Amino acid sequence: MAMWLPRLFVALCLASGLSPGFSFGQAAPARAQDRIRVVTTTTDLRSLTEAVGGDLIDAVSLVPANFDAEEYQPKPQDVLRLKNARLVVRVGLDYDLWFDRLLEAAAMRELGRGGPGYVDASLGIAPLEVRGVAIGPGDGHAHGSGNPHYWLDPKNAEFITASILAGLARIDPANAMTYEANRQAFVARLAAKLAEWETRLAPLRSMPLIAYHNSWPYFARRFRLDFADFLEIKSGVPPTPSHLAGIIQTMRTRGVRIVVREPHEPERDLAFVAVKTGASVAVLAASVGALPDTGDYLSLFETNLGQVTDDSLEKIREDLGDCQRCKLCSTRTHIVFGSGNAQARLVFVGEAPGADEDAQGLPFVGRAGQLLTKIIESISLTRQEVYICNVIKCRPPNNRFPEKDEIATCSPFLVRQLEAISPKVICCLGAAAAQTILKTKSSVGWIRGRFQDYRGAKLIVTYHPAYLLRNPDAKRVVWEDMKRIKALLDAL
Ligand code: SF4
């Protein structure tokens, strides 16, 4: 990319019949009245145009950050803005179709398609989701030209800024080298950030997500995310109750724990599916300025990454609230969320609270809990150093085994707890924990005693302390498992 862009730029200047009369030094800051006026359709393009144009240009965007750009209705003052502009930059791919009407109204030949002041930023972008069939009236926002949200792949900013650079060089060849230098500096900053973002999002790779609107295919492809479904039935068509029921089913089946909403999208339906499934809602900005701290193109991604990666035990507990998601809410005294070190290297996962735990709201505080304390201390750790929780957070009546629907409803909170803590080792105490986390039907006797990989951690299964109280002979094998855990923790 870096090699051919300068050549492309020179070729574009020559093709336009312009002499690249470059000034090789840094251009002096332009006076306000001398700056080149640029109109972009979106805030993202304005930010990228500013990255290339620096203080030689004055860019305005037409669509407010928190507005659906496809629904924008141009205003009379937009015509005036075009009248004063020397360059326009649009998204293209049928995203800002209204801009054609505006260009017609402004009647500025040099800003129209093919004119020197016209930039379609989608030039050079490989569109995703190109449809090979006709678009009908019931297809909502469907785009025959492909999904238009290409700026949400930060790598595509290289192409977008190349098109902007070519446009600025056409209308202001004297400052072409300054624009080129600005762009090179921006692309270098972007490359460094992109490497950092890929590392931060690596733990979410292939993890299923749900979004309200399909704005994210380019973002998902770049960071290897998996958007399993969308609340809109079709692009721009809101969900029906049966569609929401299907989404909830998909989320439970696939273990979706994050649902994505853009700030201007309706909250109610996403909150509904999140509450039903224990997922968290991440509000992501699809445009610069749509959320606080998204004032430019790079900070847009910084903020969005924070939204999807920053889960915490406090937030999970807050999302759990006074949970009424399954029938166990009617018989519990307290929700038993978990206790211990939020940065623990070792997490113990049991089955469900018993009578003592239900009364106190703390995990493993009865007889089995006292035995667990001894087990933890046998490997030179304390309860304060580890984290202890259960698959389900409310006591089943008479300490019965949790039922399938209860586990399905409550276990997403456990998955989030494990990801928020990100321990080195997870020790499953008993069958419920092992079968839920590993999605297996194997017995403890079959799978205990060896480490398995679980989302970057090592997981081992052993017997539940309550089982040891009934079967003291099994303490010997639990001791063997604890020695394995200690050796692994010492080695890490
Ligand atoms: S067991 Fe879990 S899902 Fe059911 S009511 Fe308690 S906290 Fe909610």
Residue keyed to tokens 């090979």? 132
Per-residue pLDDT, 57: 97
Q: Is the CB of 316 under 6 A from ligand 1?
A: no
Residue type, 333: T
- Give the single-character DSSP code of 310: -
Task: Return the closest-CA partner of residue 70 out of 164, 147, 152.
Answer: 147
Task: Return the closest-CA partner of residue 283 out of 250, 313, 315.
Answer: 315
Residue 142: pLDDT band (50, 70, 90) is low
Cα 375 to averaged position of ligand 1 atoms, centre (Å): 28
Computed over every residue of the chain, the mean pLDDT equals 90
Per-residue pLDDT, 20: 39
Give the span between the Cα atoms of 131 and 248, in whole angstroms.
28
Cα 270 to averaged position of ligand 1 atoms, centre (Å): 20
214 within 8 A of 243, measured Cβ to Cβ: no
Name the residue of 317, 318, 325 to mutate for ligand 1: max ligand atoms within 8 A of Cβ: 325
Per-residue pLDDT, 136: 55
Per-residue pLDDT of 327-360, as tens digits, reads 999 999 999 999 999 999 999 999 999 999 999 9
Residue 23: pLDDT band (50, 70, 90) is very low
Per-residue pLDDT, 5: 46
Q: Is the CB of 395 under 6 A from ligand 1?
A: no
Cα 41 to averaged position of ligand 1 atoms, centre (Å): 47
Residue bearing the bigger pLDDT, 300 or 311: 300
Using DSSP, state whether 40 is helix, strand or coil.
strand
Residue 207: pLDDT band (50, 70, 90) is confident
Consecutive H or E run containing 349: strand 346-350
Residue whose CA is closest, atom 7 of ligand 1? 393
Torsion (CA) 444, 446, 448, 450 in degrees, nearest 10: -160
Give the span between the Cα atoms of 179 and 174, in whole angstroms.
10
Cα 280 to averaged position of ligand 1 atoms, centre (Å): 16
Is residue 481 scored above 90 in pLDDT? yes
Residue whose CA is closest, atom 6 of ligand 1? 394
Per mean pLDDT, which range of 44-48, 131-135, 404-408, 426-430 is the poorest?
Answer: 131-135
Give the span between the Cα atoms of 419 and 423, in whole angstroms.
8
Give the span between the Cα atoms of 309 and 200, in whole angstroms.
8
Residue whose CA is closest, atom 5 of ligand 1? 329
Per mean pLDDT, which range of 15-19, 101-105, 193-197 is the poorest?
Answer: 15-19
Is residue 491 scored above 60 in pLDDT? yes
Per-residue pLDDT, 138: 55
Residue type, 265: E
Per mean pLDDT, which range of 371-385, 406-420, 474-488 is the poorest?
Answer: 406-420
Consecutive H or E run containing 431: helix 431-438
Using DSSP, state whether 461 is helix, strand or coil.
strand
Residue bearing the bigger pLDDT, 486 or 134: 486
Q: Is the CB of 252 under 6 A from ligand 1?
A: no
Per-residue pLDDT, 133: 56
Per-residue pLDDT, 194: 95
Per-residue pLDDT, 140: 55
Task: Return the closest-CA partner of residue 390 out of 364, 420, 423, 358.
Answer: 364
Residue whose CA is closest, atom 2 of ligand 1? 410
Q: 134 vs 130, 217, 285, 338, CA distance in Å?
A: 11, 21, 30, 54
CA angle (37 as vertex; 65, 95 as ends), nearest 5: 40
Angle, helices 431-438 vs 404-421, to 10°: value is 70
444 within 8 A of 436, measured Cβ to Cβ: no
Q: Is the CB of 271 under 6 A from ligand 1?
A: no
What the chain holds in terms of domains, given with CATH numbers, is: 24-125+137-197 (3.40.50.1980), 201-316 (3.40.50.1980), 331-491 (3.40.470.10)
Q: Which two tokens stand for residue 71?
A: 């629904």
pTM exceeds 0.85: no
Residue keyed to tokens 């009424």? 324
